[in-house]
Amino acid sequence: MAVFIDEAEALRYMGYRAAPGARALAVLRAQIDEISPRLRSRAIYRVFETERTEGGIALKGGGVLLKGQDIAALLEGCGRAALLAVTLGPEADAILRRAQLEDLFTALAADACLSAAVEWAADELEGEIRRELAPCPLTMRYSPGYGDLPLETQRELLDALDAYRRIGLSLNGGLLMTPQKSVSAVIGIGGGAKRDEPSGKCAGCAARDCAFRAMSKGGDGA
């Protein structure tokens, strides 16, 4: 699927907290123009029934155990949960590698564009899930590594989605998602879902030391 790069979001990822200069803006816009047509996103999701167990919340038939208090609180009252993953693919990483060799500022702009793009793609997927499951209330999306949800959950999550086969998304030995510009997450579904609002509010996020927290709409660590 084609992706969209929001200029304001990209500026935020670059670290601007005030209006950028004309030259910086020109560099960013050139990157948006160059990168956008070359990007495609691939996305996948799957809905599971949840089951509270001693070790955490199990996704039935998915081989996934969600551990930690934060995810338990989020999924309180949710009889089901969706796993989702989206990636911009290896081309995005190659764009970034090339940009870093050419000019560092351009690379910073490219990196920000790609982060904004994958977030946009994740928002789109989340929107699709919301439409698909309407009128069920849904929680925000929550990713491994947020709060006390262990990063190790990543492997089970991607396995349950068959993400390598379906969208070419895998983990390296250090549990980093490859391709890098990818998002994976859990969304709680059901009558008891506490926060029926699209992702993007810092309030519900346990990543309290996140650099974007004060000003951001949220973020999946992309």
Is the preceding peptide bond at 179 cis, omega within 30 degrees of 0? yes
Least distance in Å: CB of 176 to other proteins?
A: 6
Which CB sits closer to other proteins, 15 or 77? 15
Contacts to other proteins from residues 179-198, by CB under 8 A: 179-180
Which CB sits closer to other proteins, 76 or 159? 159
Which residue, 21, 49, 24, 41, is CA-closest to 189? 49
Give the one residue of 102, 127, 196, 201 binding other proteins; rule: CB under 8 A: 102
Contacts to other proteins from residues 116-175, by CB under 8 A: 145, 151, 156, 159-160, 162, 164-165, 167-168, 170-175
111 scored as a contact of other proteins (CB under 8 A):
yes
Least distance in Å: CB of 179 to other proteins?
A: 6
Q: Which part of the chain contacts other proteins (CB under 8 A), choosing from 8-16, 116-124, 135-143, 198-206?
A: 8-16
Least distance in Å: CB of 221 to other proteins?
A: 9
Q: Are 3 and 9 in contact (CB under 8 A)?
A: no
Q: Which part of the chain contacts other proteins (CB under 8 A), choosing from 39-47, 71-79, 118-126, 195-203?
A: 39-47
Calpha distance 117→183 (Å, rounded):
11
Q: What is the dihedral of CA 114, 117, 119, 122, to 10 degrees?
A: -130
Calpha distance 65→124 (Å, rounded):
26
Q: Binders of other proteins: how many residues, by CB under 8 A?
A: 55
Calpha distance 149→132 (Å, rounded):
26
Q: What separation in angstroms does the CA of 180 have from each of 59, 79, 93, 94, 153?
A: 26, 32, 7, 10, 17
Give the one residue of 51, 73, 97, 196 binding other proteins; rule: CB under 8 A: 97
Please spell the DSSP secondary structure of 93-132, one letter per residue. Answer: HHHHHHHHHH-HHHHHHHHHHHHHHHHHHHHHHHHHHHHH
Calpha distance 115→182 (Å, rounded):
9
Both tokens of 72, joined, read 């338990």
Site string for other proteins, 42-81 (x = CB under 8 A): x---xx-------------xxxx-----------------
Calpha distance 174→189 (Å, rounded):
30
Which CB sits closer to other proteins, 198 or 221? 221
Binding site for other proteins (CB under 8 A): 14-18, 20-21, 23-24, 40, 42, 46-47, 61-64, 89-91, 93-94, 96-98, 100-108, 111, 145, 151, 156, 159-160, 162, 164-165, 167-168, 170-176, 178-180
